[in-house]
Structures are given as C-alpha cells and as structure tokens.
Amino acid sequence: MAPNPRKRRETLAFYLSISPWLIGFCLLTLAPMLLSLYASFTDWDLLTAPVWVGGENYRQMLDDPRFIQSLKVTAIYTLIYVPFDLVGGLILAMLVRARLRGSSVFRTIFYLPTVFSGVAFVVVWMWMLNPRAGLVNLLLAEFGINGPRWLQDPNLALLSLVLMSFWGWGRSMVIFLAGLLSIPGELYEAASIDGASAWIQFWRLTIPLLTPTIFFNLVLSVIMTFQTFTSAFVATDGGPLDSTLFLVLYIYRQAFQFFNMGYAAALAWVLFLIIMILTLLLFRSQPFWVFYLGEGNNQ
Amino acid sequence: MKNIFRLFVVLTLASLILTACQSTSATTVATEAVSEGGVTVIRAGTGDGGEGLTPHQQIIQNFEDQNPNILVQLEAVSGRDYYARLLTQLAAKAAPDIMQIGDDAVPSFVEKGAFIPLDECIKQNNLDTSIYLPGLLDPGKVNGKQYLLPKDYSPLGVYYNKKLFDAAGVTYPKEDWTWDDLLATAQQLTKDENGDGVPEVWGIQLPATWTTGFEYWIGAAGGKLISEDGKKYIGYMDSPEVIRAVQFYADLYNKYKVAPPPADLNQFGGGNSEFDNGAAAMRLFGRWPQSGLKTNPNIDLGVAPPPQDKQRANVLFWGGFGIASTSKTPEIVCKFLTYYAAEPGAQVWKDWALPAVTSVAESSGQTTDPIEGVWIGELNHLVPRAYTFTPYWNETADPALRKVLETVLLDPGADVSAVVKQAAQEAQDALDKLNK
Amino acid sequence: MNQETAYEPEIFRLRGWRKWLRYTLLVILSVIFLAPVFWMISSSLKPEYQIFAIPPIWLPDPPRWANYQEALTSLPFGRFAINTLIIALGTVIGHLISCSIVAYGFARLQAPGKDFLFILLLSTLMLPYPVTMVPLYIIFSNLGWVNSFSPLIVPAFFGNAFYIFLLRQAFKQIPTELEDAAHMDGANFLQILRYVILPISTPALATVAIFSFQAAWNDFLAPLIFLHDQSKYTLQLGLSFFRGSYTVNWAYIMATSLVITLPVIVIFFLFQKAFIEGIGFTGTKL
C-alpha cells in the first residue's frame, strides 16, 4: 500500500503537534526515568557512587514483608477510594450543575477542601479524628456511641485515611462538572420531546455521554491514588503497626531515611509496572463502555 | 471571559519578564560576589525552622561583620524534608559547604565520606576542645576522630507544674528519685473527681511511641539494646531489663492510668497537650518546648531529672555542623565553623537554647539556674545511644522498637515479654540481612 | 436518585419539594465540607496551647487576631507570594499553550505509533516523584538552573500528561462537523485549533487553568529541592518553617494556610464563570 500524501501529511502534522511534549519528554523525563531504572539495579546511598548489584534489589523485594504490606495497603486503599471518588464526585457535580443562584457558592464550598495544601488540612483532620476530643467522636457521643480510636487503631487507621479522602471529592466534581456542562442541550431537548423522563434521560443520555469523563477520572484516580503519599506521611507515618504504610511512603523512607536509593528505585519501578498494567487494562476496556460523541455511532 | 484571558496573558508575560530579569540579576550578583574583591560565599545548610533560624542568622551577621570578605548564605529547610533535599544535593555533588545533621545520621554520613575530619581545622583555628560541657563532642566523633562540632543539644527531663503539685499537696520531685517515687507521685496527682473514667488531672504526660527517647528507660533499668560490636539484638533487646522498662512504661499508661493516652502517634512526642493545658502535672521530654512552657499561664514550671531505677541514666539529642568534603573553600568554612561552635556562637545560643560551651553556660548563670542547671547536670549521666553501635539502627531496631511501643500502648492486654522478644527477633533478622 | 436526575437538564424547572430537597442536601453537605475549614479558622485565632485543649474550645474567646500578623511577618511572606505567583502564572500559561496543541494532535490526528506514544505519555505520571527528583536535580544542576525558577516553569511549556489527557478527552467529544467545515475552507491545524476548537472548549481549558494554578501554588517538593536561598522561596516552603524539628506552631500554620489559600479560591471562583459562559458556545441552551 503506497503511502498516500494525505496520510504522510497527517503523520507529519501529528508529530509536529506533539513535539513540545515529545522534546520535553526526551530531555526532562526520559533521562530521569532511565537513570532511576539504572539505579534500581544498584546499591546507591546517594552519598557515594552507585554500585551495580544486578537484580538483587528485586530479589530482596520478595523477601521483604514491609513491601508486601505496602502493596496491600496501597491496593486496598485504591480499591475503596476510587469508586467512592467517582460516585461522590458525580453526585456533587449533579447537585451543583444547575445554573441557579448560589450554585457557584456551593461549587466553591465543595471544592474548598482540595484547595488547601497537604499538611494543614491533614492536621485538622487528625484533630477531628482525635479519639477523645475530636469532632467526629464528639458527634458520635451525642448518639451514645463510644467512638473508636481512628488513626491510632491499626484496624481503622487506613479507613480513617479513606474517610479523610472523601473531602477531596471536589476535584473529581470539577471534572465531572466540565463534562456535564459540555453535553449539548439540544440532545436533552430532543429526548424530552420524545417523552423520555428525567430518570431515563440520566441513564440513557447523561451517563453514556459522560463516559469519556468517567474514564478520565477513573484512569487518573487509579494512577494518582497508587501514589498516595502526603496524607500518610503527615498523619500516621505509616503506622500504627504499618497499617498505613503506603508504597510511595515506603519508597521515600528507603531513599531518604535509610539511604537505600537503589532499592527505592526498584520499588518505584515495580509500582510503575503495576500502574501501567492497570492503565493498559482500562484502556483496553474502552471500546466496551466509553462513548465519544465526536466519533461515529449513536445510541 | 475574553477579558480575564487577556489579563491573564498580560500578567503572565509580565511575570515571565520579571523572572528573566530576576534570574539574570541573581546570577550576576553571585558571580560578582565571588570574583570581585575576593569575597567568598559559603553555603550553610540547616534543618531548623521558624524562630529557630534567628540564632543562626544572628551568628552569621556577627561573623560577617568581623569578616567582610565572607558571605554566609543560610539555606534552611524545616523538619524531616531537610534530609530529602540534603541527600539530593549530595547526590548531585551540589551540597552546601557546611552542613548540619542530627546525631543519628553522623555515622552514616561520615562513613560515606560526606564530611572532612576536623583535626586540621581545629588546630589551625586554635579551638580548645575542652571548652565544651561533658559529652557534647562525642556525638560528632566517629572512630575517635572529630567530624562535627555541636550546634545544640538536649537531654531528657521531667517538667512539673508547681501549681498542680501545690494544689494536691505533693512534694516536688527530688533529684535522686526513683521509678517507684515517680509512680507514687503520679498516682497522688491523678484525679478523677467526677468518676467518668477520664481524669481531670493526669500524673504524667509521656512521649508515647518515641523510640529514641525510650532509650532512657532502658538505660535506667540497666539494660542495653544492642551488643557492643553492633551485631546482636538477641540477648540485649529482649533482656529482662528491657522487658521491665517496657512493662513499667506500659503500666503507667494502662494499668495505673496515670498517663494520658497518646493523641497523635505520628507527632514527635505523641502530640499530647495535657501538660500545656494544666491537665497533667508532669511531662517527660526534652528541653525544646521549654520557652513556650515558661510563658504558659497554666504552668508554674519546675524541672527535675528523670528518675532512676537500677542506675541514673539519660540520653542526649544533638545536632552539629560539619564541613562537606565537596567544599571548595574548606579553610574559610572552617573559620566560620569554629566561630560558630565556640564561644562567640555560644554567646548567641544561650538566649535560645543551652550553649555548648562551659564558660558561657556558667557566666550566664545557667549552670546554677534551678531549671537550666538540671539540664546541664544531666550531661553527667549519659548512656551511649544505640545508634552509635550500628549504622543500621534506623532500618532495623527503630521500626521494631516502634512496633513494641505501639503494641503495648494500644493493647492493654498485650503480653509485653512476647512482644519484646518478637521484636528483637525481627530486628535481628533485618540486621543479619544487612550485615552479611 | 430521582431528585438529582430531575435537575440536570435545565429545561426542567425545579419546582416545589424537589427544589427544596436539593437545597437542603446542598446545605447539609456544605456544613460537612466546611467543618474542617471552620476548625482551621477557629484554630488560627487561638493562643497556641488552646488548640488541642481537651475538652475542645470551639470558639476562641477572645480571638487572637495577632496570630495572623505575627505569622505573616515572621518570614518574608510578601516575597514568597510574589515568587509563587510568578511560578504559578508561568506554569499555567505554559500548560495551556503546550497541552492544547499536543492534546489536539492526540485527539484528531492519526499516525503510526500514536497509541504507543499516548501510553508513554501516561506513563510519565506513574513514577513517584521522590525517585525522579534526584536524577532531575542532577540534570538541572549540570545546566546551572538550580536555585532559580526555571526548573519549575520551563517544563510546563513541554506539556503535562494530566492536562493533555484531560484536553484530549474534551476535544474528542466535539462533533467533527465544525472542523470538517473549517477544513473545507482551507484552514490548517493550528488555525482550526485556535479558532474552532479552543473557543468551544472553555470548560475544559478553565479546568486545566484552575488545576494547573493550584498545583503550582501548592507545590512543595519541587521548590524544596530546586530553590536554595530564602529570597526565592515559595509560600509552601515558608509555611513549612512553622513545623520546626521539635515544636510546631499550629496556630501560625492554620492562619498562614488560610491566607495563602485565598488566591486559589479566588481563581476558582472567577474561572467558574468561564464554565458557564462556555456553555453558550456548544450550541443551544443546556
């Protein structure tokens, strides 16, 4: 098949269009990625030169109970957090989407918690979850319930962090909002003329057209949540009893507290592979449920 | 919308231009500073923050006044992130000339060649090393050679609130008091008037799961955490003395309930605030919060040494400055270092913390002060900290010890002996892997 | 779920109980979402030892406004603010420009290797920063860019996977008729992007602007390692100084955090309108 000039032009246009990113990638991202990959095969304490040890770091991982623990912690957290984030964000977006008086105030209110940077907000949360004087337990006490020890309970610490994360729904809310607002109005009009009820409109119109946004939030949520760091670092430092030992926290510790940069890099690359595989799976699933308005088939 | 966008673009272009001007002018200043008139710039890295920077800045100011050809650029990062930046800079061979590190990082850094030995420097600047209070040079020594000089330090002490003692009619702690005295005193002070199970006044606020601070308890009980050769935890970490220490500590919390439960396990010291609020009569900790405590209206402050058990013991927490091996101007840095760590620097420090130089401590009256004198006196009862025996303390014993404390504090029914033995085994396994 | 689906098409007016139900829900949720913020405000006005008092003190009495003055003057926060503003604005512009172009390429153009490149793009999000920052520092150190804003702003002009992905999703949803028409009229790639696509993508662009600004404003790790001397520090770095190695001044942290966050809130509030005005361009009323 002879390459036709139109295709060639398009290919050229494509590579030109992504050149800013591509150049930046080669200069600023590829090098660190490769360097860290190299580091993962070495013993490197950051103070002296790296020493090649082959696959030793990777072998060591299998023996490392903390690594297994951190995988568990991160996986569980992600599995719980992501669905809640998607549903919560969507509900909030639906509630504030209306172009009514006060909507912008509510939007700002819901977005507000995500605007504060890590430390201060997490600290406030830690205080709210304080077993004896925190807001949460005081409220529970009103109902006669003896509140648990939250962040200090090895069985509940992780869930406490999940609870904390709910206040971050504002972020996915904003994205869903953008998605909701770009669904053309005439589709709704046509649907209602055809007699579809609000319920039907939601499920057969809104949701399908929202799938690109859902997909986006899902993929990014998975990628980002696997790399949770700040809340664990500030609130619990991985404890109690390693029940909140997130993988990136463990990586940070290995690199900057134990001087094991090589091992940390190896851990990071394992994390990378896990996220990559999950993302690829999600992408593969696209044809089954994601529907782009700008392309082809209608429903 | 268009207007917002336009405004945006204008603002950004303006700021980009500003940046361009800024960075060029900054680099010009730097190069000029170095080349013109032979002014040297030395970079000093420190992990202090907030007001903790003021003494540094003051000392730097004094030094620069006396040495107009030298500029000291203070690069400060507060808290735990300091090491992240420092290590990154070291990896890129772009570290500051003079670096501050904490005591437990000294062996690793020195062994990896990050610092130069200071004997030359000390000789050249005629630094008399006997000017220091006892025990303050040791954390900066590795294999007998001095690599760092002291910046600040603190042993442990027991703060007590005279108001609460007086109200309960209890005598103040004596200098040679024992663990049993501590328990008795705490019990007398703990009051739960309304019987709801939560005392209005607690006997003593303890620092929860703080691992390195716990070494005091072990030392006082006559125990050790690790063998002299740094290879064995078994036989030491699980010894009867250690078990006794852990048991006593846990009992204070769970059995006798004289200590309030930890508020925040991640915060240094447990995050409790009972003592601050006048709800606890005593507090075991270092000297760091003292200035705040002195001005706290709820507290009439006194300080006592930590009680003894089998022996008197205390542990020292220390920060020091050393010269980076990558420094291009070690002699000049040395001049600053010796200025800083000797009497001139100590004169500034005495207003902020305990000075390291004996003469300054004496002349400022601190050695005889009823409160400061206690801290200084504790320097005579120090036991070596476990990290001095192995470079792998952080990775092996520290997590194990932390686990022990977390378990026994959170679970009143835990079998202390079993928990300790298990921890010792875990630490040993980890250590063996690293030592092989 | 009924009450929510009733609101979503604007054609349906909210009447009676549904409207009130929605408002009630919103108010309840607002209280919940604002509770931590309320606590921050309350804490920022207390003398230090009252912050963690048991039983908790809800409203400080009297409120210690001096906290704000003391906190903000203890360090040159004005300078920090300017620094942070420069970095944030530079970053946002960089992202908006570069990410639109790249995203459009990914959304509409076909070429061999495109899928692989897109996965590669996403993969840049998957390596945790603590690991890449050391090699990055070495690179920038060799370029002589450390201790300047360049390592923080320049990369934005090369795109960012998150925003590229977001814009790609948005662009893909636009019906191709408009672009086809423009093509017929002889417009090229950049022209179509500028005159056809971007004007109707304001919700997505506004989202990118908000997130990008916020991320740059709140960034801690990158400024931490790339900025050495204090005159270049950002607000977040300044804030971290209240967390000393041994004692923490929570009142100051709360007060400063609140003040620092105001610009981001303002930006969000302003750009929200961009969402709404953007609707007008997608055809008819929603």
pLDDT at A90: 92
- Please answer whether residues B72 and B17 qualify as being in contact, where contact means their C-beta atoms are separated by less than 8 angstroms: no
pLDDT digits (tens, 9 = 90+) for C195-246: 888 888 888 888 899 889 999 999 988 998 899 888 899 998 888 888 765 5
Query: Residues 131-150, chain C: which have Cβ within 8 Å of A?
Result: 131-136, 138-139
**Does residue A290 register a pLDDT over 90?**
no
Segment B206-230 shows an average pLDDT of 91
Average pLDDT, chain B: 84
Q: Say how far apart CA B382 and CA B389 lie, in whole Å.
A: 15
Segment C104-129 shows an average pLDDT of 87
Distance in Å, alpha carbon of C158 to nearest chain A alpha carbon: 5
Segment C152-176 shows an average pLDDT of 88
Sorted by sequence, the CB contacts under 8 Å of residue A190 that are 6+ apart come out as none
Beta bridge partners of B128: none
pLDDT at A181: 79
User: Across the interface, which of C33, C134, C239 has its CB nearest the CB of A167?
Assistant: C33
For residues B21 and B105, the model is more confident at: B105
| Range in A52-61, C38-47, C188-197, C258-267 with the lowest mean pLDDT | C188-197
Would you call C105 helix, strand, or coil by DSSP?
helix
Which chain A residues are closer than 8 Å to C2 by Cβ?
Answer: 198-199
pLDDT at C80: 93
Burial, B153: exposed, middle or buried (Cβ in 10 Å; 0-12, 13-18, 19+)?
Answer: buried
Angle of helix C77-108 relative to helix C114-123, nearest 10 degrees? Answer: 160
**Does residue A160 register a pLDDT over 60?**
yes
Segment B233-244 shows an average pLDDT of 92
**Does residue B328 register a pLDDT over 50?**
yes
| Range in A127-131, B254-258, B318-322 with the lowest mean pLDDT | A127-131
Give CA separation, C135 vs B91, B244, B418, in Å. Answer: 9, 48, 45
CA B221 to chain centre: 22
Q: pLDDT class for A298, splitting at 50, 70, 90?
A: very low
User: Across the interface, which of B87, B113, B406 has its CB nearest the CB of A240?
Assistant: B406
Nearest C-alpha neighbor of B78 from the set A23, C22, C233, A53: C233
Q: pLDDT class for A294, splitting at 50, 70, 90?
A: low
Average pLDDT, chain C: 82
H helices within C75-201, ranges in order?
A: 77-108, 114-123, 129-143, 150-153, 161-172, 177-184, 189-191, 198-200
Domain boundaries, chain C: 10-69, 73-282
Inter-chain touch C36–A128, beta carbons under 8 Å: yes
Helix/strand number for chain A, H first, E second: 17, 2
Nearest C-alpha neighbor of C197 from the set C282, C275, C271, C272: C282
- ipTM of predicted assembly, 2 dp: 0.83
Sorted by sequence, the CB contacts under 8 Å of residue B150 that are 6+ apart come out as B132, B136, B137, B139, B140, B318, B319, B320, B341, B356
> C48-59 burial by CB neighbour count: b if 16+ within 10 A, else e?
bbbbbbbebbee
Fold adopted by A61-289 = MetI-like fold (1.10.3720)
| Range in A177-186, A255-264, B98-107, B336-345 with the lowest mean pLDDT | A177-186
Nearest C-alpha neighbor of C64 from the set C49, C44, C50: C44
The torsion defined by the Cα of A282, A283, A288 and A291, in degrees rounded to 10, comes to: 120
For residues C38 and B7, the model is more confident at: C38
Q: Say how far apart CA A142 and CA B215 lie, in whole Å.
A: 42
Segment B101-123 shows an average pLDDT of 87
- Cβ atoms within 10 Å, residue A23: 13
Counting residues of chain A whose pLDDT is more than 90, the rounded percentage is 27
User: Across the interface, which of A47, A132, A239 has its CB nearest the CB of B90?
Assistant: A47
CA A57 to chain centre: 27
Q: Which of C49, C217, C267 to mutate to test the interface with B (most CBs of B within 10 A)?
A: C49
pLDDT at B221: 93
pLDDT at A119: 74
**Does residue C138 register a pLDDT over 70?**
yes
**Does residue B271 register a pLDDT over 80?**
no
**Does residue B35 register a pLDDT over 80?**
no
User: Across the interface, which of A46, A131, A151 has its CB nearest the CB of B91?
Assistant: A46
Sorted by sequence, the CB contacts under 8 Å of residue B422 that are 6+ apart come out as none
Structure tokens at A14: 């494509």
**Does residue C283 register a pLDDT over 80?**
no
Distance in Å, alpha carbon of A167 to nearest chain B alpha carbon: 21
Nearest C-alpha neighbor of B135 from the set B388, B386, B376: B376
pLDDT at A116: 85
User: Across the interface, which of A46, A149, A257 has its CB nearest the CB of B90?
Assistant: A46
Nearest C-alpha neighbor of C102 from the set A290, A25, A217: A25
Q: Say how far apart CA A22 and CA A31 lie, in whole Å.
A: 13
Q: pLDDT class for C269, splitting at 50, 70, 90?
A: confident
Which chain B residues are closer than 8 Å to A131 by Cβ?
Answer: 261
pLDDT at C177: 85
Whether the CB of C278 is below 8 Å from some CB of chain A: the reply is yes
The secondary structure of chain B in percent helix, strand, coil, rounded to multiples of 5, reads: 45, 15, 35
Please tell me which residue of chain A has the smallest CA distance to C18. Answer: A95
Please tell me which residue of chain C has the smallest CA distance to B94. Answer: C141
**Does residue A186 register a pLDDT over 80?**
no
Average pLDDT, chain A: 85
Nearest C-alpha neighbor of C149 from the set B167, B181, B17: B17
- Please answer whether residues B349 and B361 qualify as being in contact, where contact means their C-beta atoms are separated by less than 8 angstroms: no
DSSP letter string over A192-255?
HHTT--HHHIIIIIIHHHHHHHHHHHHHHHHHHHTT--HHHHHHTTT-STTTT--HHHHHHHHH
CA B244 to chain centre: 26
Distance in Å, alpha carbon of B406 to nearest chain A alpha carbon: 7
- Please answer whether residues C60 and A136 qualify as being in contact, where contact means their C-beta atoms are separated by less than 8 angstroms: no
Segment C81-86 shows an average pLDDT of 94
pLDDT digits (tens, 9 = 90+) for C14-67: 567 777 888 888 899 999 899 888 888 888 888 877 777 766 777 887 888 888
Q: pLDDT class for B29, splitting at 50, 70, 90?
A: very low
In this structure, are strands B202-205 and B280-286 parallel, antiparallel, or unpaired? parallel
Which chain A residues are closer than 8 Å to B395 by Cβ?
Answer: 258, 260
pLDDT at B31: 29
Most confident of A149-153, B26-30, B221-225, C244-248: B221-225
Nearest C-alpha neighbor of B261 from the set C130, A150, A257, C127: A150
- Cβ atoms within 10 Å, residue B197: 7
pLDDT at A76: 95
Fold adopted by C73-282 = MetI-like fold (1.10.3720)
- Please answer whether residues A277 and A223 qualify as being in contact, where contact means their C-beta atoms are separated by less than 8 angstroms: no
Helix/strand number for chain B, H first, E second: 16, 11
DSSP letter at B262 equals P
- Please answer whether residues B323 and B121 qualify as being in contact, where contact means their C-beta atoms are separated by less than 8 angstroms: yes
Domain boundaries, chain A: 61-289
- Please answer whether residues A251 and A271 qualify as being in contact, where contact means their C-beta atoms are separated by less than 8 angstroms: yes
> A39-49 burial by CB neighbour count: b if 16+ within 10 A, else e?
bbbbbbbbbee
- Please answer whether residues A209 and A291 qualify as being in contact, where contact means their C-beta atoms are separated by less than 8 angstroms: yes
Q: Say how far apart CA C197 and CA A106 lie, in whole Å.
A: 29
DSSP letter string over B241-260?
HHHHHHHHHHHHHHTS--SP
- Please answer whether residues A271 and C128 qualify as being in contact, where contact means their C-beta atoms are separated by less than 8 angstroms: yes
What are residue B303's phi and psi, to 5 degrees? -130, 135
